[in-house]
Each structure stands twice: as C-alpha cells, then as structure tokens.
C-alpha cells in the first residue's frame, strides 16, 4: 500500500517538474535544463510549425506594406478572406518550418561557434533556436486568431488595429534573451562573445529593420496626407469586397439599392449623378476571354437595358496605366434621357466595371469627373 502511495506521489512530483511551454517565458533556464539536458523534447514538431506559420504571417505583412505604397502584390488574395489567409499561412508555414529548422538552425550554430562553443551539437543548436523563436511566434499567431474573431478579413485588421501588432514586437527582444540563456545553459560560451552574437547584433538588426519599416509607413502616410492637401475635395472609397479603391468627391455619399451586385454604390442625389462598380473574376468566364470581348459584352448588356440606345466608344485615358476601355451610352428609361459612362479595367485576375450615369444634359460637364474616378482606381 505504501509502495503504491509512494509511486503516486513520485508521479505527481514528476508531472509537476515536467517542462511546460510557459516555463520558456518565465523560467527559460529551467526549461532548457529539463528538455535538452535531460532529453525531454516538448512538442518540438508543433513548435517548429508554429514558428513557420508566424514567419509566413510576416511575409504577408511585408506584402501588405508593399500594397500600401502603391505596388502590386502576388499574394493580395490572401488579405481578402480569413479562410484564404489561414490556408496560405498554414500551408506555406509547414513548408517554411523545414527551411527554418535547417537553415535558420545552421546559422544559429555558426553564431554559437562565434560565441566560443566548440563543435556545438547541431540538434541542440536548432532546438534552442526554434524554442527561442517560439517566444515571439506564438504571440503573433494568437494575435492573428484574435483579429480573426474581431474583423471580417486581414485588410480590416491591418487598417484598424496597431496596438496588439506593436505589442508583439516586444517579444522579439525577449526571444533574444531566451536564446542567450538557453545557449549558456547547454553550451560553454564566452560570456561577452555570446552577448554580442546572440543579443546585441540581433537587437541592432531588429531595431534597424523596425526603423526602416517605420520610415516606409511614415512616408506612405505623408504621401497620403499630401494627396489629401492637394485634392481636399476627394476621399477614398473601398469596395465591399476589399478588392479596390477609387477616389470620389467628398459631397458624394455611399448609397444603397442602386444595384444588388455592385461592390461600390455611390452618388449625389441632389446633383442626380451616380456611380456603381463591379468586380468580375476571370476564372468565372470561359478561358481566354479578352478585355475587348468583355467590353463589348458589357456595352451590349447596358445598351440593351435602354430605349433608343446609341454607343460612342471613347479613347483610352493617357494618364491611366492599366489596360482599359471606355464608352458613352445615351438612351432613354421611361422617356427620361440618360447617359452611361462605361469604364472597363483589366488586371491580372479581374475585370472591373466602373459605370457612372446621370441625365443626358449633365453628361458632358461631368465626363472629366468620371474620368477622375477611373484614374483614381487602385487594386488592393
């Protein structure tokens, strides 16, 4: 009976003394002693994958910054849906975890050698590197999960929440301290060389990187502010599917019930002028559909909804760099003369329709304004 009680007590003590991931944050020396020194691996594969996922999230952030500065991004699609975001980050994160384990671990082992370690064990070096990286990777993933619950997609979270994102950066510097403690626990190192290669130089690198990112963000915000000063009468509207923006007069408002399928519905009721826009995925059409074919189909459909319709094809805008087509369609709806300005824009994956309309008497005067709307088009 006493033997059984002793076994139970010993099991409880052993469980209590077993390493936990929280020990990595609050007692890293104890964590590495219990794991590496005593040979108890703790969720190593899962931790490595989480580090890979967080690294992929950083790549998405970099691409988002690129889009903010007006450049195109090959992975813009992942910012429009949380399903796409998580599928991309988890899928690529698993792949990235192998590279991080082998190549990141290889470089970390080199830094240990520079710190005085003699032939450091590759597995132990990678182990410390991965768990130190987990210090800042886990909060990044947790914050992304919180954003998923709070916001409709990644773009919205990126635009509205900066506090948690900045708070996560503090864990980067905590990971450097953890790395240093883990390395000193497992390997015999020169104290000052270790501090130089494991804390000081990485901290300088991260500070320079954050400074560069801060400079880019400040420049983007300054450019946007200057644009607002130059054209104070305009404001930016984002489509409901978060695919594009256009710049519109401030005295226009967002409207409803102009068209159920439109991704932008705006106008000015007093001036009797309106604009609707549509996003059309190319993959939804027959393969090989060209801009001209789509353009002609839109003109035919629009003219078909009018009585006494006449189509006037307009030249392309020299100031607008994307491939596009323009036309003016005059006609009648219930004996009221109306003019449509149809603007079709083509990008890599989408056709966009920007259709403005107003009574025929207003059309000629408003054509420059409609062209400004097209010129302001930006795909996210």
Q: What CATH number corresponds to the domain at position 342?
A: 3.40.1000.10
- Token couple for 133: 């990286």
Residues 320 and 358 in one domain: yes
Residues 211 and 245 in one domain: no
| 50: pLDDT strictly greater than 90 | yes
Residues 169 and 262 in one domain: no
Q: What is the mean pLDDT of the chain?
A: 82
**244 φ, ψ (degrees, to nearest 5):** -155, 165
Model pLDDT for residues 4-17, shown as the tens digit of each residue? 544 543 443 344 34
Domain end marker among 196, 227, 258: 227
- Token couple for 316: 């392309």
Residues 220 and 246 in one domain: no
Exposed, middle or buried, 317 (CB in 10 Å: 0-12/13-18/19+)?
middle
Domain end marker among 227, 249, 267: 227
In a 3-state reduction of DSSP, which class is residue 235? strand
Residues 95 and 182 in one domain: yes
Q: Which residue has the higher pLDDT, 40 or 355?
A: 355
Residues 330 and 255 in one domain: yes
- The pLDDT of residue 1 is 47
The residue-averaged pLDDT of 276-295 equals 87
Alpha carbons 357 and 17: distance in angstroms, whole number: 73
- The pLDDT of residue 224 is 44
- Token couple for 292: 């001209």
Residue length of the chain: 380
Give the pairing of strands 350-359 and 273-281: antiparallel
Residues 144 and 279 in one domain: no
Closest CA to 186 of 108, 102, 124: 124
Closest CA to 77 of 347, 362, 341, 356: 347
Q: Work out the number of other CB atoms within 10 angstroms of the CB of residue 358.
A: 23
Total number of domains in the chain: 2
Alpha carbons 174 and 228: distance in angstroms, whole number: 40
Closest CA to 358 of 236, 297, 295, 268: 268
> Please, which residues have CB within 8 angstroms of residue 274's CB and are 6 or more apart in sequence?
255, 258, 265, 266, 267, 268, 356, 357, 358
Residues 29 and 127 in one domain: yes
- Token couple for 310: 């006449």
Question: CA 110 → CA 86, 113, 138, 255, 287, distances in Å?
Answer: 33, 5, 25, 61, 51
Instruction: Quote the domain boundaries for residue 81.
Output: 2-227
- Token couple for 213: 């990112």
- Token couple for 289: 């559909």
- The pLDDT of residue 303 is 85
- Token couple for 194: 């270790």
- The pLDDT of residue 188 is 93
Q: Work out the number of other CB atoms within 10 angstroms of the CB of residue 312.
A: 10
Alpha carbons 171 and 51: distance in angstroms, whole number: 13
The residue-averaged pLDDT of 246-257 equals 78
Alpha carbons 189 and 195: distance in angstroms, whole number: 10
Residues 347 and 293 in one domain: yes
- The pLDDT of residue 287 is 83
pTM metric for this prediction: 0.58
Beta carbons of 93 and 52 less than 8 angstroms apart: yes
Domain end marker among 227, 262, 290: 227
Q: Which residue has the higher pLDDT, 139 or 74?
A: 139
Identify the weakest region by mean pLDDT among 91-100, 161-170, 317-326. 161-170
Beta carbons of 274 and 267 less than 8 angstroms apart: yes
- Token couple for 151: 């916001």
Residues 200 and 272 in one domain: no
Give the pairing of strands 324-333 and 336-346: antiparallel
Residues 155 and 273 in one domain: no
In a 3-state reduction of DSSP, which class is residue 342? strand
- Only one residue has tokens 């991080």, namely 100
- Only one residue has tokens 């083509």, namely 346
Alpha carbons 97 and 378: distance in angstroms, whole number: 34
Residues 175 and 260 in one domain: no
**Which percentage of the chain shows pLDDT scores above 90?**
31
- Token couple for 238: 């984002």
């Amino acid at each position: 009976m006493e033997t059984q009680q002793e076994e139970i007590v010993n099991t409880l003590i052993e469980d209590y003394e077993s390493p936990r991931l929280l020990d990595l944050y609050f007692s890293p020396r104890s964590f590495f002693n219990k794991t590496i020194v005593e040979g108890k691996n703790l969720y190593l594969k899962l931790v490595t994958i989480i580090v890979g996922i967080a690294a992929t999230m950083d790549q998405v952030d970099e691409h988002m910054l690129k889009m903010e500065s007006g450049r195109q991004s090959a992975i813009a699609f992942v910012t429009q849906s949380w399903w796409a975001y998580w599928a991309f980050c988890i899928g690529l994160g698993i792949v990235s975890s192998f590279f991080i384990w082998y190549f990141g671990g290889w470089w970390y082992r080199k830094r240990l050698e520079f710190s005085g370690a003699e032939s450091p064990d590759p597995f132990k070096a990678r182990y410390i590197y991965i768990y130190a990286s987990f210090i800042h990777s886990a909060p990044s993933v947790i914050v992304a999960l919180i954003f998923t619950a709070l916001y409709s997609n990644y773009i919205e979270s990126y635009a509205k929440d900066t506090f948690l994102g900045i708070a996560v950066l503090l864990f980067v510097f905590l990971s450097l301290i953890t790395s240093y403690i883990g390395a000193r626990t497992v390997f015999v190192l020169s104290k000052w060389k270790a501090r130089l290669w494991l804390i000081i130089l990485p901290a300088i690198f991260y500070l320079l990187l954050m400074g560069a990112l801060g400079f880019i963000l400040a420049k983007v915000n300054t450019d946007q502010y200057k644009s607002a000063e130059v054209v104070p009468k305009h404001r930016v509207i984002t489509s409901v599917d978060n695919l594009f923006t256009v710049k519109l007069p401030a005295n226009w408002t967002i409207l409803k019930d102009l068209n159920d399928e439109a991704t932008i519905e705006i106008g000015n009721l007093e001036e009797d002028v309106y604009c609707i826009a549509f996003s059309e995925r190319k993959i939804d059409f027959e393969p090989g559909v060209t801009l001209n074919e789509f353009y002609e189909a839109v003109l035919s459909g629009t003219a078909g909804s009018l009585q006494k319709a006449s189509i006037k094809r307009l030249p392309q805008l020299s100031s607008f760099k994307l491939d596009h087509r323009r036309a003016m369609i005059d006609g009648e709806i219930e004996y009221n003369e109306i003019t449509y300005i149809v603007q079709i824009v083509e990008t890599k994956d989408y056709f966009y329709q920007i259709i403005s309309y107003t009574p025929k008497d207003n059309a000629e005067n408003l054509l420059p304004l409609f062209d400004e709307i097209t010129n302001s088009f930006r795909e996210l």
